[in-house]
Amino acid sequence: MFMKDCKVIDLFCGIGGLAHGFKLEGFDIAGGFDLDNSCKFAFERNNNSNFYSKDVKEITKEDLDFIFDNSKIKILVGCAPCQNFSSYMFKDKEKESNKWTLLYEFSRIIKESKPDIVSMENVAQLLNFKKAPVFEDFILSLKKLGYHVNYEVVKCPEYGIPQNRNRLILLASKLGEIKLIPKTHSKENFVTVNDTIGHLPKINDGEKDKKDAFHYCRKLTPLNKKRIQATPYGGSWNNWDENLKLACHKKASGKSYPSVYGRMVWDKPSPTMTTHCIGYGNGRFGHPEQDRAISLREAALFQTFPINYQFAEDLKMMNTTVIARQIGNAVPVKLGQVVAQSIKEHLIENIKL
């Protein structure tokens, strides 16, 4: 089959969420680039691939040619770290001069290495061309190079991902018109919190499940324990007595963060996983019923990592803060599969078998 002639390189690969989606669809993951060496074990172990620790500014055509080797179909994918495109960054004028560097470097690498197919995943704010002309520049560069370009904002629950996450997905191909596969889910059958974590054993804050060390949640402070006990199903800090509220929540500006210290609900997708996804005070990351924040296992499942995905060589020695950051930064594996399936269908339509 043509799949044996395809190789994928993942820029900004992290622990391999995007790459693993491609692997599950039968693609050969030729390599991944990232500056964060803490991601090396998980990326390599789960994707049967090589991790290259190198600044994107230093990646050359020769680097990619060596990794792609003699592949007939070269696929370059990546997600520049989204902190550079957050709503905060749009407001921080001091950082305007270099906040778009990574995406411009992605564009440079495409221009030099000329892969057959490109996919880029990022935050939806990039579509605001007035504030983020870099994306318009990215598209124009691809078109000048002869790529057919398609992009859209994807609502993750519409593809069976149990998480309210909106992401910008771009596909570009030199082989012909390319687009994402049709949506697979609607509100009537979204995958929910209950579908995803409802089967897991109960644990207390600060505990690990005896059969799954990765099903671990942080110990709450005595005050935060009182707070989550005072939080009803689906509620947040708005439901607390005044003596439990933080000073910032008592100000008018604090009312703009209604979901902080919130509990999830069983019959809806989870909120977006972030780098602080196992912190009770960092969002609506409270368990729907148990008096604790979600565990690492639960966060990984919301990001659609398979149950057998290995995040650390030794779970007894794992750094939970680092792993939570890695999980929050990852592209959901299922979203990676959606992109991979779209490219696979495109190849079937445009390559003579």
* Residue among 6, 79, 82, 156 flagged as catalytic: 82
What is the number of residues in the chain? Answer: 353
pLDDT the model gives residue 84: 47
- Over the stretch 120-153, which tens digit does the pLDDT of each residue have? 999 888 887 666 688 899 999 999 999 999 999 9
pLDDT the model gives residue 2: 65
Write down the mean pLDDT value for the chain: 90
Domain ranges across the chain: 2-187+332-350, 189-329
Residue the block writes with tokens 């994928």:
8
Higher pLDDT, 96 or 132: 132
Angstrom distances, CA of residue 212 to CA of 14, 134, 294: 23, 44, 14
Amino acid present at 124: A
pLDDT the model gives residue 229: 95
Task: Quote the tokens at residue 102.
Answer: 């990574």
pLDDT the model gives residue 131: 63
What percentage of residues in the chain have a pLDDT greater than 70? 89
What span, in angstroms and rounded, lies between the C-alpha atoms of 321 and 217? 11
pLDDT the model gives residue 22: 98
Q: Using 50, 70 and 90 to split pLDDT, how confident is the model at 93?
A: very low
What percentage of residues in the chain have a pLDDT greater than 90? 77
Provide the CATH number for the domain formed by 189-329 in this structure: 3.90.120.10
- Over the stretch 210-243, which tens digit does the pLDDT of each residue have? 999 999 999 999 999 999 999 999 998 888 878 8
User: In DSSP terms, which residues pair with 153 in a beta bridge?
Assistant: 168
At the top level of CATH, the class of 2-187+332-350 is alpha beta
pLDDT the model gives residue 311: 97
User: In DSSP terms, which residues pair with 123 in a beta bridge?
Assistant: 167
Q: Using 50, 70 and 90 to split pLDDT, how confident is the model at 89?
A: very low
What span, in angstroms and rounded, lies between the C-alpha atoms of 23 and 46? 9
Q: Catalytic residue at 82?
A: yes
pLDDT the model gives residue 313: 93
- Can you give the chain as a three-state secondary structure string? CHHHHEEEEEECCCCCHHHHHHHHCCCEEEEEECCCHHHHHHHHHHHCCCEECCCHHHCCHHHHHHHHCCCCEEEEEECCCHHHHCHHHHHCHHHCCCCCHHHHHHHHHHHHHCCCEEEEEEEHHHHCCCCCHHHHHHHHHHHHCCCEEEEEEEEHHHHCCCECCEEEEEEEECCCCCCCCCCCCCHHHCCCHHHHHCCCCCCCCCCECCCCCCCECCCCCHHHHHHHHCCCCCCCHHHCCHHHCCHHHHCHHHHHCCCCCCECCCCCCECCCCCCCCCHHHCCCECCCCCCECCHHHHHHHCCCCCCCCCCCCHHHCCHHHHHHHHHHCCCHHHHHHHHHHHHHHHHHHCCC
Q: Using 50, 70 and 90 to split pLDDT, how confident is the model at 5?
A: confident
Is the pLDDT reported for residue 160 higher than 50?
Answer: yes
